[in-house]
Structure 1
Amino acid sequence: MRPAAKPFLIFALAASFVAQATAALLPNVPLLIAATATGLATEAALHRWQPGLNSQFTKVRADVTVRQVIRDLLLVVGVLELDSQQRETGYLPLVCALLFFYALHFAGHATAILVRASRTMPLLTRNIDASALRITPAPPALLMGGPGPRLLLFGLPATAGLLTTAASDEPEFAAAGIGLSVLLACAGLAVLLWRLARRRPASQEQVLAWFDAWLAEYQPTVGMYFSGGSSSAYQANMWLETLARTDGRPLILLRERFMMQKIGATDIPIVCIPRVAQLMRLEHSTLKMLIHPANSGKTSQVLRIPTIKHAFVNHGESDKLSSCNPYAKAYDEVWVAGPAARERYAQAEVGIDDRDVVEIGRPQLAPIAPYAGPPTGPHTTVLYAPTWEGWDGNPGNTSVILAGENIVRALLADPGVRLVYKPHPMTGSVDPRAGAANERMQELIREANHRRTGSRPGPEAAAALALRTAELEGITASSFRKGSDDAERMLAQSAPPAGRAEAVAAATAAWEEAYWESLPDWEHQIITTPQPALYACFNQADLLISDVSSVVTDYLASEKPYAVANTSELPEDAFREAFPTVRAATILTPDAEGVAALLHSVRNPEHDTLVRSRAELKLHLLGPSDPPSLERFNEAARSLCARADGHRARMAQRMLSMIPAPRAAVAEETTTSAEASKSLLNVAPEV
């Protein structure tokens, strides 16, 4: 629903109450019926299209329950005004029955809270067999969700009965409607009480004991820790394949429950531990190290575990301050792509010891195709992928506000350009000007497409895309029943099919190929969805235009031409000096004056003077290609695990030295026997 509908719904809701009150006091039956129907229709629209507006009403104590109580109260007033002779004798039982319905509704809501609490696990898992926890399907969503929709639906017969009585002066209709509402409320309450009494899953203590047993059996060694908002899941997803291919037994550790369904397809066991008290149980596990793709407020909690070593790997590297944050001091090591990041930390003087910086390359960049020469077709594909505005208000963060529209206009003015526009998903989340500029650029691109004509791929291309889409959705689509809760989804994801992650990767690659084949090569594209992914857009592009961001660093893996918009107000020489990632780029001013010359150099490589600079900068930013990045990642993981082992051994020896001699001998003998048993069983291999 359009944003303009929000004030319309507020007005419609307020007007319905005013009209209903007026109709009840006059009284006026047609107006009473129309006002009540309008109010109920507006409630349905609010729940369907504006749930956020409902939340705002709740903050001012005007939630749907209060609104429905007022609505029914006005109906009762109207009925009494219409038939004043039976005011005390005929309608008193009906009013009492209506109050009883509301009592049942509140009892049902309280019971739903208890049922929800009994089904709230202290931790959630994925790709781990949870059948031992006695998890059952969740009660119907209507009973377990917010009380508003349930009240509106169960109370509809009572409302209809009161309206019919108002129109006919027959109390029997109100009695029948209220009676049906009471029966519905009783049935819902009975279902919830039965679930509460007879079908409880395992208790919190049992779940934690089960998890401890799983940890002892699985013996995890390496893991990834992630905490963040709903739009930040991509930061963790980019490390899934790398983590899956590491030596040892991997584990993914999350802190937010909603993040469980945001993590992409993987066979790695995933566990979400929201509370710090349960998180500390990992201290006694075999987990030796965690990689961290992002900083968050909750990261400090896991850093308190002394038996685990921590490496900050980030979710991309750029010249921004966020890529050399002082928070990195909290980690045992900082893993970077190449020498440039090492120099960045040294120059930033944020307290990072150079000995703790480890160069591992960027294992995620393997799918990026290398430069294969200038464009061969009639169109030059230009990818404009600006970053978002950031938290600090620096005008140099994004080109969207100051330069974006100029860049887009300059590109659209060239008939030989095919523009692919992929803005950052958080564009406009901090500065409304960025969001507005983003919308204007998209409108410019749509208008340019209306002016273009050309042949389109045949129906077989569309059929191939539909087939690949169906295949991908068949693998990745949620199999959850509508209304399932976290516990039910936990059970449903206990045992994924073997090799599912590889199947999803293959299906995604096939879908991306079919997607590009289904598009005409002359048509500009706006991509605001996760698919096709950024790297797939890289492989389509002959030229990238972006900002100072990790997008530039990753794109350099292809050694294709690229440009960076300078909206920092720095002179070009100072801009290149301040941001090493742009030293092999064409620098565009906010007026986009250099776009024409840039396109000429892309189409005519003999005029491209930055070829050698890009190759040198790639080595400086991403490090050598031999040994491969994944091998360097594994070596860094083995080294950090060895540090964890050494720390544990020293702590164990220190504890032994504090025990009196006779007891120390027994303790040492016990420890040695246990380690020997583990070695024989091979249950805790080194990473």
Structure 2
Amino acid sequence: MPDQSSYARQRADFIHRHRISLKFRRGATALVWGVATVLLVLALGVHALVDGAPGVLDVVATVAATVLTVVALRRPAPAPHAHGLPGVPGDAHGPCPTDHPDMGPWVIGSRIAGPLTLLAVAAGLGPAFVAVPLTAVVVLAGRVALYMVVVRRRTVAIARALAAHQPRFAIAYAGYGGGPTHLTMWEDPLLSAGFPGVVFNYREKYCEYLRENTDLTSPFVQLSTDAVRDLQVLVVPTLRYFFYLHNAKSNYRYMAIKKVTHVWLGHGDSDKPASVFGRHADYDLLVVSGTAAIERYATGGVRIPAEKFVVLGRPQVQEIEAATRSITDVERPVVLYAPTWQGKRMRVNFSSLRFGAEIVEALIEAGADVIFRPHPLSKRHPRLEHFVRRTEVVLALDTQDPDTPGRHLIGDLPNRTWSLNECMNRADALVSDVSSVVSDWLQSGKPYAMVSTKWPVDEFRDRFPVARGAYVLTRDLEDAHEVIADMLGPDSMRGPRDELRVRVLGGFTGRESAEAFAAYFHERFAGVAP
């Protein structure tokens, strides 16, 4: 008997390849039909040897049982559903449906009844014995087939509405809880190219969450678990570009559709390992903010042809205002403390939130006011929320103390009312971690500090190039007083910071990146005939 773990791996590999490759899927379908045909012929052949030439009823029963069983083997996924798409019935703001019929028992029953019908024919049993399993397979597999027809009709209805909408691009999202930030970040820049788009979402469990926490103007289409099946119908003639914002492995489900151009955008430029995933080489085009991103791939050992890159800066930073005065001229500087999320694995945990209270205490001692804006996901995890509250308590107590000048901002104002860019415009300096926040902050030209949670200063700057323009705080906050005093005073890192701004953000200033992005994709979208 084969090793169970080996079998499990092979099964998982088969399922994965079936989900992401149309070629593999077609091959698997051909194999199933081939095996089914062999079994059909074998059943009729055995019948001929045992009981003479099969009659019309035997042939019809065998063919019907074989066809229906193969159809039922596909175990159809539910239909996709759309929100905010004209021409599709339903409330644009209504809930995402989650109550889908369970076809499992019907499929399993078909798998049993079909082979039993073939065995009855092969054994030369009488019509009554053949009729029982045949009736069962007709009822069971027929129910599955009927459901498939309903799913197909609903999918085609969405496709027709999309054809009328004429989207040029789709945001192909297969990520997790950070979706609201990712989608909000990129929808406007993509729409600024002058053509409509659509948002495809893969993970149904996030459908409601994404729609409740975004103000998307594009239609939202929730795919089923069989995304490839859906996309084969939903990719209408005008839809020729898929954009990817998250590193999810399930992006490959979208990438099974070869007739579109797959474009990697990501959700921010940073020196985190996620910025140099090897599978980025599988995208047709990679939009990066500056040459630093291209160098990052080369340093990380990810080989990507130069022609796949296009440098367009960061459209989102157009709202970040450049500094108009030196920080030495600010009587009481305001520092934005924006720690990143800890990630799902320790290897990618760069968050300083665990000792955020100590960091803001050091800023208070240096005579600064603090705007505290932790990563949005931090408040969704109880352990991280504890560190958020602990940091907020320090700032709240200093604000409430009439004997101190501190006037710090915490809670809803900097986290919900203001955008991150608005927080940046109200700050004179930044303290953050290895994060895309730092790259965007370079647009302002203002000083920033980064927190090294694991490495000595020199090694930290060597590992993370954007830190070469930063003041570096170590986890033990040794020399924090001197480091912060330099950042808020002489600002000795101004030169390296200006050089990094060009390398990281492509040399664009003001609205130049947003305009370059819109112009680049307007030209490409315009080339797709409706």
TM-score using structure 1 length: 0.52
Task: State the shift of 1:428 in Å.
Answer: 7.5
Offset of 1:641 from its aligned partner?
A: 6.0
Shift of 1:308: 0.8
Query: Residue 369 of structure 2 corresponds to which residue in structure 1?
Result: 418
Among candidates 505, 521, 526, match of residue 637 of structure 1: 521
Change over 3 Å in CA distance of 1:259–1:285 after alignment to 2:
farther
Change (3 A) 1:134 1:389: closer
* Alignment gaps of 5+ in structure 1: 1-119, 145-201, 455-520, 646-683
Q: Find the counterpart in structure 2 of residue 352 from structure 1.
A: 304
Map Cα deviations across residues 391-427 of structure 1 (whole Å, 9 max, x no partner).
23138612223x433212212234x321111111223
- Residue 243 (structure 1) aligned with residue 190 (structure 2): yes
Which residue of 1 is the match for residue 222 of structure 2? 272
Q: Deviations over 1:68-113 (max 9, x none)?
A: xxxxxxxxxxxxxxxxxxxxxxxxxxxxxxxxxxxxxxxxxxxxxx
Residue number among 163, 168, 179 corresponding to 1:232 in the alignment: 179
Deviation at 1:378?
A: 4.7
Residue 527 of structure 1 is matched in structure 2 by: 411
Residue 310 (structure 1) aligned with residue 265 (structure 2): no
CA shift, 1:203, in A, is 6.0
Deviations 1:627-666 (A, max 9, x none): 9223432454367669x97xxxxxxxxxxxxxxxxxxxxx
Is the Cα–Cα contact under 8 Å of residues 289 and 309 in structure 1 kept in the other structure?
yes
Residue 394 (str. 1) matches residue 347 (str. 2): yes
CA apart distance, 1:220: 1.9
Gaps of 5+ in 2: 1-76, 100-148
> Residues 534 and 382 from structure 1, CA distance in 2 versus in 1: closer, same or farther, beyond 3 angstroms?
same
What CA distance in whole angstroms lies between the structure 2 residues aligned with 1:617 and 1:231?
27
What secondary structure, in the 3-state scheme, does the structure 2 residue paired with 1:583 have? helix
- Give SS of 1:427's match: helix
Give the whole-Å Cα distance in 2 for the aligned partners of 1:238 and 1:135.
25
- Structure 1 residue aligned with 2:246, among 270, 294, 299? 294
How far apart in 2 are the matches of 1:624 and 1:266? 30
The Cα of 1:453 is off from its aligned counterpart by 5.8
Change (3 A) 1:135 1:232: closer
Structure with greater Cα Rg: 1
- In the alignment, the residues of structure 2 paired with residue 363 and residue 210 of structure 1 have an alpha-carbon distance, to the nearest angstrom, of 35
> Residue in 1 aligned with 2:444?
558
Q: Secondary structure at the match of 1:268?
A: coil
In structure 1, the partner of 2:314 is 362
Residue 82 of structure 2 corresponds to residue 125 of structure 1: yes
SS of equivalent residue, structure 1 residue 617: helix
Distance 1:383 1:284, change over 3 A: closer
- Give the superposition deviation at 1:293: 0.9
With over 3 angstroms needed to count, the CA separation of the structure-2 counterparts of 1:121 and 1:431, relative to structure 1, is closer
Where does 1:661-676 land on structure 2 (aligned, <5 Å)? none
Q: Deviations over 1:250-297 (max 9, x none)?
A: 222222332551463243333222342222213453211111111224
- Candidates 362, 371, 383, aligned match of 2:323: 371
Q: Is the 8 A contact 2:473 2:483 kept in 1?
A: no
> How far 1:581 moved relative to its partner?
0.6
**Alpha-carbon distance in 2 for matches of 1:215, 1:410:** 55
Distance change >3 Å, CA 377–CA 608, structure 1 → 2: closer
Residues 273 and 348 in structure 2, CA contact (< 8 A), matched pair in contact too: no
TM-superposed deviation, 1:602:
4.7
Instruction: Give, as a single letter, the amino acid of the residue that structure 1 aligns with 2:454.
Output: S
Residue 624 of structure 1, CA deviation: 2.0
Please tell me the residue identity of whatever aligns with 1:368.
I
Deviation string, structure 1 residues 508-533 (Cα, Å, up to 9, x no partner)? xxxxxxxxxxxxx9421223643322
Q: 1:417 to 1:364 in 2, by over 3 A?
A: same
**1:225-244, CA deviations, whole angstroms, 9 ceiling, x for partnerless residues?**
11233443211110121011
Match of 2:276 in 1: 324
Q: Hey, what does 2:481 align to over in structure 1?
A: 596
Distance 1:242 1:444 in 2: 38
1:586 equivalenced with 2:471 (yes/no): yes
- C-alpha change, 1:420 and 1:452, in structure 2 (3 Å) is farther
Deviation at 1:204, TM superposition (A): 4.6
Question: Cα offset for 1:215?
Answer: 2.6
Give 2:467's aligned amino acid.
V
Alignment of 1:168-179 (within 5 A): none
Where 1:314 maps in the other structure, the secondary structure is coil
Q: CA deviation at 1:205?
A: 4.8
CA distance in structure 2 between the partners assigned to 1:203 and 1:583 by the alignment: 59
Secondary structure, in 3 states, of the residue corresponding to 1:530? Answer: helix
**Aligned partners of 2:449 and 2:470 also within 8 Å:** yes
The reply on whether 1:448 has 2:398 as its aligned counterpart is yes
Contact 1:346 1:354 in 2 (8 A): no
2: CA distance, partners of 1:353 / 1:423: 37
* Cα displacement (A) at 1:614: 1.4
Asked whether the equivalents of residues 320 and 548 of structure 1 are also in contact (C-alpha less than 8 Å), the reply is yes
Q: In 2 relative to 1, CA 215–541 (structure 1 residues): closer, same or farther, beyond 3 Å?
A: same
The SS at the match of 1:358 is strand
* TM-score normalised to structure 2 length: 0.67
Q: Indicate how the Cα distance of structure 1 residues 599 and 347 shifts in structure 2: closer, same or farther if over 3 A, else same.
A: closer
Counterparts of 1:251 and 1:395, CA distance in 2: 31
Q: Distance in 2 between matches of 1:542 and 1:591?
A: 24
Structure 2 equivalent of residue 50 of structure 1: none
Structure 2 match to 1:404: 356
In percent, how many aligned pairs have the same letter?
28
Pairing 1:617–2:503 present: no
Instruction: For residue 125 of structure 1, give the secondary structure of its aligned residue in structure 2.
Output: strand
Q: Secondary structure of the residue that 1:224 maps to in structure 2?
A: strand
Partners of 2:156 and 2:233 within 8 A in 1 = no
Query: Structure 1: which amino acid aligns with 2:497?
Result: R
* Structure-2 change in CA distance of 1:448 and 1:287 (3 Å): same
1:216 to 156, 163, 181: 163
User: Using the alignment, how far apart are the partners of 2:375 and 2:93 within structure 1?
Assistant: 38
SS of the aligned residue for 2:376 comes to coil
Q: Deviations 1:355-403 (Å, cap 9, x if unpaired)?
A: 21221110011110111224566532111111122223138612223x4
> Following the alignment from structure 1 to structure 2, what is the Cα–Cα distance between the partners of residues 359 and 137?
37
Q: How many residues align?
A: 394
Letter in 2 for 1:393: M
Other structure's SS at 2:340 match: coil
1:620 match: secondary structure = helix
Is the CA contact 1:260–1:272 (under 8 Å) kept in the aligned structure 2?
no
Q: 2: distance between equivalents of 1:420 and 1:245?
A: 31
* Cα distance change of structure 1 residues 621 and 231 upon mapping to structure 2, 3 Å threshold: closer
Correspondence list, 1:7-18, <5 A: none
Checking the alignment, whether the CA contact within 8 Å between 1:374 and 1:602 is kept in structure 2 is no
